[in-house]
Amino acid sequence: MKCSYACQSAEHAVARRQFLQGVAATAAGSVVGGLGLFANPAVSAALNNQQKRVVVFNMHGGLSQLESWDPKPGTDTGGPFRAIDTSVPGIKISELLPNIAKQMHHLCLVRGVNTKEDDHGKGAYLMTHGRRESPAADYPTLGAVCAKTLSSEDGGLPGHIIITPGGGGGRGNDSAYLGPKYSSIYLGNGNPPSHTVRPGKVTEPMDTVRNDFRRRVDQRFLNRRRTAVTDAYTYSYEQAIQLMKQREIFDVSKEPEKDHERYGKYDLGRHCLLARRLLEKGISFVQVSHSNYDTHNENFNFHIEQLGEFDRSFAAFVSDLASRGMLDSTLIVVLSEFGRTPNINLYYGRDHWSHAWSVVLAGSKIQRGIAYGKTNPRGTEVVDGQVDHANLFHTYLQASGVDSTDSFDIEGRDVPIADPASKMIKQILA
């Protein structure tokens, strides 16, 4: 479903670069010898069995908690939809999510989120960085932190993928002091990254000779004039070679037709299926984008259609990860930049509301089949279990096996991984 953002926010425009141009900015140590070891299927399988992964579903624009995870039927704020039973007795969610209701025993609803930020850009920053924006410092996103802490240092595949309609392989600028090696790569439309096919006139033997020569020249240069920039370019070439060799990993058309039918033959269905494929192939962090939930007008009609897509695709995704034994090693997060107002405006819409909304978690060390936190009967405030963006960021990392109280060593300076003034939500960790 397509619509224009009613608040006309510029934060929704995403600039993208061409893939190889962006990858050339990637930072890393010397990898002149190549990354071929990790393309070995046996080695990759062994690594995958031990690897932790994170997948985020970013509901851009602000998903309504009242039409999804925390319905209030029969009240003046509740709207027209019923609450339905789930696979966990006593926990109800919106009738717009009947398939997800059957997966509730795998999920954890966090219903007491209060981030106190109703601006799209600032709210999105909070939820993806775990901190408030500061003129004194920029911080890496959750995806960059996960790529740094969960990925193999010498792996040939990128550890930070964002799947969004129209994504063509461009590199993001979201890793801050961790360096561009951990920046996101944008994918979309179920296609592999662009510019990863060898030109027809260049045969494989020719390409091998060419790259061997480049490595010898690089090594000679690095022995005398090695810098972070030269390391970045060296790594970018090696990673591009591995992407070309393993290009089919990103090709969702390789998945069975029956899976395409189950997930839905629309963008979100293909993107959820691609996310499953990438996680199975060892990618550490995947974000799936779904929009547009900025429903200042016709909130209820938009949520019927948008959540109809999400319900089908997300339920299939959760069910598949559970049946394939991947939930124990994969953290699932469903978030937005904020929720929507309990009050319904004169356009039958809901506006921005960050003071009492919901986030959903599943997998890894997260307790399953629970609802943590509570809002009052009209959904206007949190009355129990209040948490914010920083608590959630700590919890995501702890659930994935990362000590969120630790620090990164950035050029000899300790930089806390997560906000040192905050802490994890112990009550939802298993």
CB–CB of 19/168 below 8 Å?
Answer: yes
Amino acid 360: pLDDT: 98
Using 50, 70 and 90 to split pLDDT, how confident is the model at 382? very high
Q: Which residues of 27-66 are buried (b: 16+ CB within 10 A; e: fewer)?
A: bbeebbebbeebbeeeebeeebeebbbbbbbbbbbbbbbb
Mean pLDDT score, 223-250: 69
Nearest to 354 by CA among 120, 117, 124: 117
CA distance 373 to 376: 10
Amino acid 306: pLDDT: 97
- DSSP E strands in 71-227: the ranges are 83-85, 92-94, 107-113, 160-163, 168-171, 185-187
Mean pLDDT score, 261-272: 96
Amino acid 217: pLDDT: 84
Q: Has residue 84 got a pLDDT over 80?
A: yes
Q: Has residue 33 got a pLDDT over 50?
A: no
Letter for the amino acid at 410?
A: I
Residue 361 to residues 62, 73, 107, 138, Cα–Cα distance (Å): 17, 24, 6, 26
Q: Between these two residues, 61 and 206, which has the higher pLDDT value? A: 61
Q: Has residue 36 got a pLDDT over 50?
A: no
Q: Has residue 17 got a pLDDT over 50?
A: no
In sequence order, the 6+-apart residues with CB closer than 8 A to the CB of 160 are 143, 144, 146, 147, 175, 182, 183, 184, 185, 284, 285
Segments in 281-401 forming alpha helices (H): 299-323, 389-399
Using 50, 70 and 90 to split pLDDT, how confident is the model at 38? very low
CB–CB of 329/52 below 8 Å?
Answer: yes
Q: Has residue 324 got a pLDDT over 60?
A: yes
Taken in order 179, 181, 182, 183, the sign of the CA dihedral is positive
- Residue count (the chain): 430
Domain boundaries defined on the chain: 52-123+285-406+416-430
Taken in order 54, 292, 270, 99, the sign of the CA dihedral is positive
Amino acid 220: pLDDT: 80
Residue 251 to residues 270, 273, 277, 278, Cα–Cα distance (Å): 10, 10, 9, 9
CB–CB of 184/22 below 8 Å?
Answer: no
Using 50, 70 and 90 to split pLDDT, how confident is the model at 50? low
User: Which of 36-50, 306-320, 405-419 is least confident?
Assistant: 36-50
CB–CB of 207/34 below 8 Å?
Answer: no
Amino acid 47: pLDDT: 43
Q: Has residue 123 got a pLDDT over 60?
A: yes
Amino acid 355: pLDDT: 98
CB–CB of 285/142 below 8 Å?
Answer: yes
Model pTM?
Answer: 0.84
Nearest to 26 by CA among 192, 237, 168: 237
Burial class (CB in 10 A: 0-12, 13-18, 19+), 10: exposed
Q: How many CB atoms lie within 10 A of CB 366?
A: 26
CB–CB of 363/100 below 8 Å?
Answer: no
Tens-digit pLDDT profile for residues 135-194: 989 999 999 999 999 997 766 678 999 999 877 667 788 999 998 889 998 887 766 666
Using 50, 70 and 90 to split pLDDT, how confident is the model at 102? very high
Percent of the chain with pLDDT over 90: 67
Mean pLDDT score, 231-248: 66
CA distance 390 to 372: 16
Pairing mode, strands 160-163 and 413-416? unpaired
Q: Between these two residues, 211 and 306, which has the higher pLDDT value? A: 306
Amino acid 232: pLDDT: 58
